[in-house]
């Protein structure tokens, strides 16, 4: 939605600048248009940065909660959560991470390199991942992913509230 608004504002700005270039505005109007154009550019840059900050904060919050909410026996399941950009990471490993700190750290590093246009994924490709998500473990009878998806809107509001005014 923000992208659409910025594109609309950018298109309007281009039309105003084109008119200005062809001399259709008074001198004072030209100064206002130049200032307006600079303000729009600054707004667009700030908004894009803020959108990316919110996106990254929400992803780190939700993905971290998924990892932390994962049931633990040996720690292999927590050690196999993979964050990726652009497409799901389909790998599985023998990593043991009972605390989830290693997976959470890797996930945060991956997300922090993302841009506003990137699609982020979290995946766990162990053969029993789907069973755990659907209540196979008494430690996480409501799953991990489904449970945290319900927090999505609250996570967005929380991240927006932390932005500088």
**What is the domain partition of the chain in residue ranges?**
2-161
- pLDDT digit string (tens) for 46-55? 666 688 888 9
Which pLDDT score, from 0 to 100, does residue 56 have? 93
pLDDT in tens, 17-29: 333 333 443 444 3
Instruction: Grade residue 41 by pLDDT with cuts at 50, 70 and 90.
Output: low
Alpha carbon distance 108, 62 (integer Å):
11
pLDDT one-digit tens code per residue, 127-161:
999 999 999 999 999 999 999 988 888 888 888 88
Query: What pTM, to 2 d.p., does this model score?
Result: 0.72
Q: CA–CA separation, 120 vs 57, rounded Å? A: 12
Q: Residue 144: which residues within 8 A CB-CB, separation 6 or more?
A: 65, 66, 67, 69, 70, 132, 133
């Amino acid at each position: 939605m923000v992208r659409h608004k910025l594109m609309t504002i950018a298109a309007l700005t281009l039309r105003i600048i084109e008119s200005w270039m062809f001399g259709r505005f008074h001198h004072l109007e030209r100064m206002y248009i130049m200032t307006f154009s600079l303000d729009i550019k600054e707004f667009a840059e700030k908004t894009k940065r803020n959108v990316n900050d919110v996106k990254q904060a929400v992803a780190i919050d939700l993905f971290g909660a998924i990892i932390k909410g994962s049931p633990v026996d040996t720690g292999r399941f927590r050690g196999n959560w993979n964050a990726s950009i652009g497409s799901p990471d389909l790998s599985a490993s023998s990593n043991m991470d009972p605390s989830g700190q290693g997976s959470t750290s890797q996930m945060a590093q991956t997300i922090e390199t993302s841009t506003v246009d990137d699609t982020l994924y979290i995946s766990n490709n162990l053969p029993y991942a789907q069973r755990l998500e659907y209540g196979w473990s008494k430690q996480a009878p409501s799953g991990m992913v489904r449970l945290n998806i319900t927090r999505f809107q609250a996570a967005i509001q929380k991240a927006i509230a932390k932005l500088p005014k």
